[in-house]
């Protein structure tokens, strides 16, 4: 699925820390079935979205450059839309990975 949103261009607008480019990403997921039904096994109802990337033979989560005019959450949401064509709500910030 391609996004109608044009990807931003140019790394000069992105954030860096000690010459390392900072990126933001997300783990898009949805819970199938009636979420109010507590009797079902949650692990069997969760679907996680991963994408392929040019030049790679594996699946990855949507991620990309964190730009100076946005928060990390805004960058993660933008990348999910640009790379996977999905919108969602950030439920929880996981952690910083270096």
The structure tokens 């996977």 sit at: 84
The structure tokens 């989560």 sit at: 61
Per-residue model confidence (pLDDT) at position 56: 83
Q: What is the DSSP letter of 31?
A: E
What is the chain's mean pLDDT, rounded?
84
If pLDDT is split at 50, 70 and 90, which confidence band does 3 have? very low
Higher pLDDT, 95 or 75: 75
Which has the minimum average pLDDT: 8-12, 26-30, 62-66, 68-72?
8-12
Under 8 Å between Cβ of 29 and 68:
no
- Rounded to 5 degrees, φ, ψ at 76 are -65, -45
Tokens representing 51?
Answer: 């994408």
Q: What is the pTM of this model?
A: 0.75
Residue 88's alpha-carbon distances to 8, 41, 84, in angstroms, are 20, 23, 11
């Amino acid at each position: 699925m391609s996004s109608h949103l044009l990807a931003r261009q140019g790394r000069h607008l992105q954030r860096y820390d000690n010459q390392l480019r900072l990126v933001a990403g997300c783990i898009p997921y949805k819970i199938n079935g009636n979420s109010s039904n507590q009797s079902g096994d949650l692990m069997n109802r969760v679907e996680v979205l991963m994408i392929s990337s040019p030049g790679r033979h594996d699946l990855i989560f949507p991620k990309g450059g964190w730009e100076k005019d946005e928060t990390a959450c805004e960058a993660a949401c933008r990348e999910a839309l640009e790379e996977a064509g999905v919108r969602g709500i950030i439920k929880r910030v996981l952690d910083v990975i270096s």
